[in-house]
């Protein structure tokens, strides 16, 4: 049996008032069970706390935020925490010998690499034939553009210190170019060993250059090789990437595609 009663004042258990604009539905399921009363709430005016309002707004923010932009350039940032927690995965993003870029610049376990980088950078400046002040000024001039290649939260420490950031890019970029040139420079005398760096140490340096968190903008290398004898250093970088990343089958790709691969070596 189904009956409907509308209006007629407040109905319900003591202490529970029911609005007169609600519909009371009484059902009998013919199984000798007690009658059930269902009171649909048609109009309700709740007063929400500030925390409840924040929770509800978070749904809108989650829906509207973090939309992937297919045209956005990739940023240099840390790997997801799900990977960072596993020690077996650290070899793919944490350097063993040399820190490149911002993310491991202050790592105490890599402090010795600062001397190695300075030595490499000094020899690069000597070989390229461009005044060190000019090379550094080129880096400092474009520092704002270089900063855009990083996740902003990774550069909070340098928000008011462009000089330190420009010097880091300068030294790291010079060190990369010299280290790679020592192996892939067509006119480099490998028997001279003028830097007295052991080959096994250089092998670790080369492997560190491909790690996910050990990167710097490719524009840094372009700025450092834009004058003087820079062409031979950039040619060494391309040979290094071809030998290490691009396999023979992929070498048949159009030249424009190969240029894109070179820029994958160090983040845009």
Distance CA 246, CA 243 (A): 6
Identify the band that residue 219 occupies on the pLDDT scale cut at 50, 70 and 90.
very high
CB contact set of 121 (below 8 Å; sequence gap of 6+): 170, 171, 174, 175, 178
Instruction: Tell me the domain boundaries of the chain.
Output: 2-38, 81-265
Using DSSP's 3-state secondary structure scheme, residue 178 falls into: helix
- Tell me the Ramachandran region of residue 228: left when phi exceeds 0, alpha when psi lies from -120 to 50, beta otherwise: left
Identify the band that residue 181 occupies on the pLDDT scale cut at 50, 70 and 90.
very high
Identify the band that residue 139 occupies on the pLDDT scale cut at 50, 70 and 90.
very high
pTM recorded for the entire structure: 0.66
State both tokens at 45: 């005016």
**What was the pLDDT predicted at 163?**
94
Angle formed at CA 153 by CA 150 and CA 155, multiple of 5 degrees: 60
Mean pLDDT computed over every residue of the chain: 78
CB contact set of 96 (below 8 Å; sequence gap of 6+): 204, 207, 208
The partner residues of 150 in beta bridges, in order of sequence, read: 76
State both tokens at 90: 């650290």
Identify the band that residue 130 occupies on the pLDDT scale cut at 50, 70 and 90.
very high
- pLDDT score of 104 more than 50: yes
Q: Are 261 and 241 in contact (CB under 8 A)?
A: yes
**What was the pLDDT predicted at 20?**
46
Q: Are 174 and 124 in contact (CB under 8 A)?
A: yes
Q: Are 76 and 154 in contact (CB under 8 A)?
A: yes
Q: What is the mean pLDDT of residues 5-32?
A: 49
**What was the pLDDT predicted at 120?**
93
């Amino acid at each position: 049996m189904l009956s409907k009663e509308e209006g007629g004042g407040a109905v319900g258990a003591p202490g529970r008032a029911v609005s007169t604009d609600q519909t009371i539905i009484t059902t009998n399921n013919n199984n000798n069970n007690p009658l059930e009363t269902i009171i649909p709430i048609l109009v309700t005016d709740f007063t929400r706390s500030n925390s409840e309002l924040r929770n509800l707004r978070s749904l809108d923010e989650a829906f509207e935020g973090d939309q992937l932009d297919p045209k956005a350039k990739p940023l240099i940032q840390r790997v997801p925490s799900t990977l960072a927690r596993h020690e077996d995965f650290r070899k793919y993003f944490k350097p063993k010998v040399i820190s490149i870029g911002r993310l491991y610049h202050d790592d105490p376990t890599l402090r010795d690499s600062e001397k190695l980088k300075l030595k490499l950078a000094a020899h690069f400046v000597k070989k390229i034939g461009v005044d060190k002040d000019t090379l550094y000024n080129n880096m400092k001039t474009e520092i704002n553009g270089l900063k855009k290649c990083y996740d902003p939260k990774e550069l909070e420490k340098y928000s008011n210190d462009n000089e330190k950031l420009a010097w880091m890019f300068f030294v790291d970029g010079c060190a990369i170019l010299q280290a790679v040139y020592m192996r892939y420079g067509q006119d480099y005398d490998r028997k001279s060993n003028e830097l007295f760096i052991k080959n096994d140490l250089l092998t670790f340096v080369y492997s560190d250059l491909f790690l996910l968190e050990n990167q710097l903008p490719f524009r840094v290398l372009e700025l450092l090789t834009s004058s003087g004898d820079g062409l031979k250093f950039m040619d060494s970088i391309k040979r290094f990437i071809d030998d290490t990343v691009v396999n023979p089958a992929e070498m048949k790709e159009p030249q424009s595609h190969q240029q894109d691969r070179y820029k994958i070596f160090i983040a845009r």
